[in-house]
């Protein structure tokens, strides 16, 4: 039975990848699970320099989800390359790095540094963080800026470039196409949805930053819909992301057109989620008489609509 997939020219041994910001830099999980059982790991977001992120409280629980405003706290790309990457690269899994910047030039510079770093398989370009005042969603919410940032990263590296799209837009297909035109090799779909939780006693936001990004099962149907729309609008492959906690959740994204998926908030609930989903995927293939997970990709039978394979030819 084949669970291996290829995204952006990178071969993942299975379609499960840890999502950025929910799995530390990867090495924090060394004693908790076998990192080699994952298809891949996306690092926390990295800028050129270290950052403190937002003041606390930075996380609040919501029905079936989390609202966070971490604000991309991090150690900076050079420290990552020097201190973390050599240790992470010892594990037999693919490493993607989440690239951030306050300016287009900063994105390109971070990409240039990672281009020369052994052990990195690809760059996920974070143009969709809702919790920073500059960069982030300000770039990913404007198709022209999206094109500009992705083009600059494209020019700065030979590594596969994977922009991470924001769900806080009207028509995600416009952004998916802007990324493809700028030379992206794949897309990550999606980041968190902008939300607000109010403390009714103090009448203040529950997060110190104010608004935050909503994640977890609460956002899954929106993320599946956006993955489906993005997959139909471009030729490049897609990581589906949003609220995956079970094999059936992961299968929804694959059937909707994603080649692989990323798991975020579930890491906080159950680090055994990868093993559980992998065994569920094998069961599903066996029950449906299939031998390869790729046979399921884009097979959604949408009423009155051509299946993706036909639509793309
Ligand atoms: C605490 C937290 C931190 C996150 N940090 C990042 C980040 O650094 N870069 C990024 O691109 N996405 C970040 N995300 C977004 C996730 O990678 C993912 O896209 C989102 O949470 C939806 O997936 P999920 O519902 O499985 O969590 C973060 C999410 C959470 C909950």
The whole-angstrom separation of Cα 299 and Cα 257 is: 7
Answer for the pair 160, 122: CB distance below 8 angstroms, yes or no. Answer: yes
Among 17, 28, 57, 192, say which to mutate for ligand 1: greatest number of ligand atoms within 8 Å of CB.
Answer: 192
Q: Specify the ligand 1 atom closest to the Cα of 262.
A: 26
For the segment 149-171, the average pLDDT, to the nearest whole number, is 98
Distance from CA of residue 26 to its chain's centroid?
14
Alpha carbons 136 and 100: distance in angstroms, whole number: 7
Question: pLDDT at residue 130 above 90?
Answer: no
* H or E element in which residue 7 lies: strand 5-7
Whole-number pLDDT of residue 306:
57
How wide is the angle at C-alpha 288 spanned by C-alphas 287 and 291, nearest 5°? Answer: 100
Please give all residues whose beta carbon lies within 6 A of any atom in ligand 1, as ranges.
19-22, 44-45, 66, 68, 70, 72, 98, 126, 129, 164, 191-192, 215-216, 219, 241-244, 263-266
Q: Say if residue 310's pLDDT is above 50.
A: no
Read off the pLDDT of residues 207-224 as tens digits, 9 standing for 90 and up.
Answer: 999 999 999 999 999 999
With a pLDDT cut of 90, the percent of the chain lying above it is 93
Give the model confidence (pLDDT) of 244-253 as tens digits. 999 999 999 9
Mutate to test the pocket of ligand 1, among 75, 124, 213 (most ligand atoms within 8 A of CB): 213
Quick one: which atom of ligand 1 is closest to the CA of 44? Answer: 8
CA nearest ligand 1 atom 22, residue: 242
Task: Evaluate if pTM is beyond 0.75.
Answer: yes
The answer, yes or no, to whether residue 311 has pLDDT greater than 60, is no
Given a cut of 50, is residue 42 above it in pLDDT?
yes
Residues 86-102 have pLDDT tens digits of 999 999 999 999 999 99
Are 181 and 154 contacting, i.e. CB atoms less than 8 angstroms apart?
no
Confidence band (pLDDT; 50, 70, 90) for 136? confident
Backbone angles phi, psi at 83, to 5 degrees: -100, -30
User: Each residue of 164-186: pLDDT tens digit?
Assistant: 999 999 999 999 999 999 999 99
Residue pLDDT, tens place only, 265-298:
999 999 999 999 999 999 999 999 999 999 999 9
């Amino acid at each position: 039975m084949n669970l291996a997939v290829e995204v952006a020219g990178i071969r993942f041994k299975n379609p499960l990848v840890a999502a950025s910001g929910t799995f530390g830099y990867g090495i924090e999980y060394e004693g908790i699970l076998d990192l080699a059982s994952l298809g891949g790991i996306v690092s926390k977001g990295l800028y050129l320099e270290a950052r403190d992120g937002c003041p606390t409280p930075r996380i609040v629980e919501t029905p079936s989800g989390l609202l966070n405003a971490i604000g991309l706290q991090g150690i900076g790309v050079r420290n990552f390359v020097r201190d973390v990457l050599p240790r992470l690269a010892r594990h037999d899994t693919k490493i993607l790095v989440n690239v951030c910047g306050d300016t287009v030039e900063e994105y390109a510079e971070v990409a240039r540094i990672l281009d020369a770093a052994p052990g990195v398989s690809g760059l996920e370009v974070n143009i969709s963080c809702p919790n920073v005042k500059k960069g982030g969603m300000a770039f990913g919410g404007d198709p022209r800026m999206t094109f500009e940032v992705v083009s600059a990263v494209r020019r700065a590296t030979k590594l596969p470039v994977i922009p991470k799209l924001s769900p806080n837009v009207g028509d995600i297909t416009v952004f998916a196409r802007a990324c493809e035109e700028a030379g992206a090799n794949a897309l990550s779909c999606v980041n968190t949805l902008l939300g607000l939780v109010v403390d009714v006693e103090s009448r203040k936001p529950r997060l110190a930053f104010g608004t935050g990004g909503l994640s977890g099962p609460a956002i899954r149907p929106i993320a599946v819909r956006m993955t489906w729309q993005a997959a139909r609008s471009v030729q490049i492959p897609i990581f589906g992301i949003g609220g995956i906690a079970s094999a059936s959740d992961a299968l929804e994204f694959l059937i909707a057109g994603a080649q692989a998926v990323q798991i975020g908030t579930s890491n906080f609930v159950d680090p055994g989620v990868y093993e559980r989903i992998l065994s569920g995927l094998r069961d599903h293939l066996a029950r449906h008489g299939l031998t390869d997970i790729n046979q399921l990709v884009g097979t959604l039978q949408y009423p009155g609509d051509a299946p993706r394979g036909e639509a793309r030819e």
